[in-house]
Amino acid sequence: MATAAGLATLHALESLGALQHASEVGAYLRAGLSAVDGVAAVRGEGLLIGFDLDGEHAPAAVQAALAAGFIINATGPSTLRLAPPLILTTEQAATFLDALPGILSTAQTPAREASA
């Protein structure tokens, strides 16, 4: 029964083009992230993406992103993870990419103030 449900889900994802869509939007996100100042490295597959920051302010970036309306995860002091739904649009991805420089700037502010 569980196998039948799993196969039905896979067939539905394939027929809706969800996997191709996730691949295309994920590639768009990875390319956009690579161009953002403060992003040191980007990796991932589909819409599951990890990226490293130039500094150890990932937890502060999570808080700044949440305040801006985005949910991201810190998987380490300098690493962030994106795991959006498969229905994320390119326009929604662009909105995040447009907001990311401000999010990172806000995240770095406490570190700058502490070192001053």
Total structural domains within the chain: 1
Owning domain of residue 102: 17-115
In-domain check, residue 5:
no
For the whole model, what pTM was predicted?
0.85
CATH classification at residue 104: 3.90.1150.10
Q: What is the pLDDT of residue 8?
A: 86
Q: How far apart are CA 22 and CA 46, in angstroms?
A: 5
Residue 56 gets which letter from DSSP? S
Q: What is the pLDDT of residue 13?
A: 74
How far, CA to CA in Å, does 44 sit from each of 8, 33, 60, 62? Answer: 26, 11, 22, 19
In-domain check, residue 7:
no
pLDDT in tens, 2-45: 898 888 887 877 777 888 999 999 999 999 999 999 999 999 99
The runs of H, that is alpha helices, within 17-89 are 18-34, 58-67
How far, CA to CA in Å, does 108 sit from each of 39, 41, 50, 66? Answer: 12, 17, 19, 15
In-domain check, residue 91:
yes
pLDDT in tens, 38-85: 999 999 999 999 999 999 999 999 999 999 999 999 999 999 999 999
